Structure 1
Amino acid sequence: MFTLVSGAYRYFTRLDEYNVLILGLDGAGKTTLLERIKHQATGVGGMAPEKIQPTVGVNIVKVHRQRRVVRFMDLGGQKDLRGIWSSYFGDSHAVLFVVDSASADRMEEAKGVLLDLARQTELEGVPVLVLASKQDVADVKALLAVKELVNSIADTLDGRDVRVLGASGIDGAGLHEAVDWLLSRMLENSPARPPATSSY
């Protein structure tokens, strides 16, 4: 009897868990966006932007949404840290690629990194959301420039869900829509990339 009750408890308290990799160049605003996502989801915390340091390693935030857990994993974007990204590819369910839309001089570098990610076999079929960050300070053409960047490598990204959205880690604009899009695409893609399970 205990085994039956224990099994039922585990079944009804388990949550599907999805992993989202937050990738992009150093200084693109990944950690600031993650802190704002955390604040919007929990209503607490959220480090002041001026206190945020470059990520060395990984920052992880879990967000509960629609009886599911979305685990955001912010990986350091410095050139010498990008080599560790591949160790997280196999367990990922989506990629959130952050482009600093206020930094036109690094667009080509961001394009090269995104193109390299699109060619990774372990990320094949994984939804990709490209966030044009710093929309609070970028000019009105910046989002268009990021869309053009993505369009220029559309052939390599073919066969997966891809979207470009503008966002700000300062005022939180665009982040609810971003998280909703990611979750909906991960759910659709779950037959190909099943979620892990956790208990609450």
Structure 2
Amino acid sequence: MFHLARSVYKHWNLREQHDILILGLDGSGKTSFIESLKAFLSKPSKALSKIQPTIGQNVSFVSMDTHHIWKIIDVSGQKSFRYLWDSYFNKENVHAIAYVVDTSDPDRLQESVNELKARYTSNPSSVDIPIAIVLNKADQCLNISSFIDQFTELMLELDVKRSNVFQTTTNEPNDLQEPSEWLRIQLQENKDLIAPSYR
């Protein structure tokens, strides 16, 4: 009887874990986005001034509530590490993707579009993974509409089923309300297609 009670208690206290992959070119602000997201969700976070470029990958966990936890996987955007992206870019390994783009550097827009397109092209099942395109540093961009248009067209071209484009600034945490809420909704609505793990 004790074992049954313990098993029921353990099952009752398991939390849904959703793995969220954070990608983007080097310098796009991925880690700043993650730390700002943690701060927005009132979770412990690093000061933006202390953030270093990601080498390889970083993994962190964010407890959303008593029943849900996000595992956030931040993979380096440096060219020599981008081969790692393919290891995660399928629905067996992640439940959602946030693709961070530095809109203050228009010279790298095409490179950013091409890298994302290459991953979808080589991993066809990834069209089922919800993706938030995060146009970071939007306050420093002179032509934000070109970024919005390029990524909107890319999502249509690739037939991605669940995608959205968001504008954020690292200094304005409230900008993260919309993408974080959108991701939360997509993770719940997509559970039948990409089941969460439990911990």
Q: TM-score, normalised by structure 2?
A: 0.91
Matches within 5 A, 1:30-109: 30-49=30-49, 51-66=50-65, 67-89=67-89, 90-109=92-111
Deviation at 1:25, TM superposition (A): 0.5
Deviation at 1:3, TM superposition (A): 1.4
Higher deviation after alignment, 9-18 or 59-68:
59-68
Deviation at 1:43, TM superposition (A): 4.4
Partner of 1:107: helix, strand, or coil? helix
The reply on whether 1:130 has 2:133 as its aligned counterpart is yes
The one-letter code of the counterpart of 1:20 is: I
**Which consecutive residues of structure 1, in runs of 5 or more, have no partner in the other structure?**
none
Q: Residue 155 and residue 137 in structure 1: after superposition, are their counterparts in 2 closer, same or farther (change >3 A)? A: closer
The one-letter code of the counterpart of 2:70 is: V
Distance 2:139 2:10 in 1: 44
> Aligned residue for 2:8?
8
Whether the 8 Å contact between 1:35 and 1:169 is mirrored in structure 2 is no
Whether the 8 Å contact between 2:22 and 2:72 is mirrored in structure 1 is yes
Whether the 8 Å contact between 1:118 and 1:156 is mirrored in structure 2 is no
> Aligned residue for 1:194?
195
Whether the 8 Å contact between 1:23 and 1:30 is mirrored in structure 2 is yes
Distance 2:179 2:74 in 1: 15
Deviation at 1:170, TM superposition (A): 2.4
> Aligned residue for 1:162?
163
Q: Residue 25 and residue 159 in structure 1: after superposition, are their counterparts in 2 closer, same or farther (change >3 A)? A: closer
Partner of 1:168: helix, strand, or coil? coil
Distance 2:79 2:43 in 1: 33
Q: Residue 108 and residue 178 in structure 1: after superposition, are their counterparts in 2 closer, same or farther (change >3 A)? A: same
Whether the 8 Å contact between 1:96 and 1:131 is mirrored in structure 2 is yes
Deviation at 1:152, TM superposition (A): 2.9
Deviation at 1:122, TM superposition (A): 4.3
Higher deviation after alignment, 124-133 or 148-157:
148-157
Whether the 8 Å contact between 2:129 and 2:162 is mirrored in structure 1 is yes
Partner of 1:152: helix, strand, or coil? helix
Higher deviation after alignment, 151-160 or 123-132:
151-160
Percent identity at matched positions? 28
Deviation at 1:112, TM superposition (A): 0.1
Partner of 1:174: helix, strand, or coil? helix
Partner of 2:171: helix, strand, or coil? coil
The one-letter code of the counterpart of 1:24 is: G
Q: Residue 47 and residue 115 in structure 1: after superposition, are their counterparts in 2 closer, same or farther (change >3 A)? A: same
Query: Aligned residue pairs: how many?
Result: 195
**Which consecutive residues of structure 2, in runs of 5 or more, have no partner in the other structure?**
none
Q: TM-score, normalised by structure 1?
A: 0.90
> Aligned residue for 1:116?
118
Whether the 8 Å contact between 1:136 and 1:170 is mirrored in structure 2 is no
The runs of at least 4 consecutive aligned structure 1 residues that moved more than 4 Å come to none
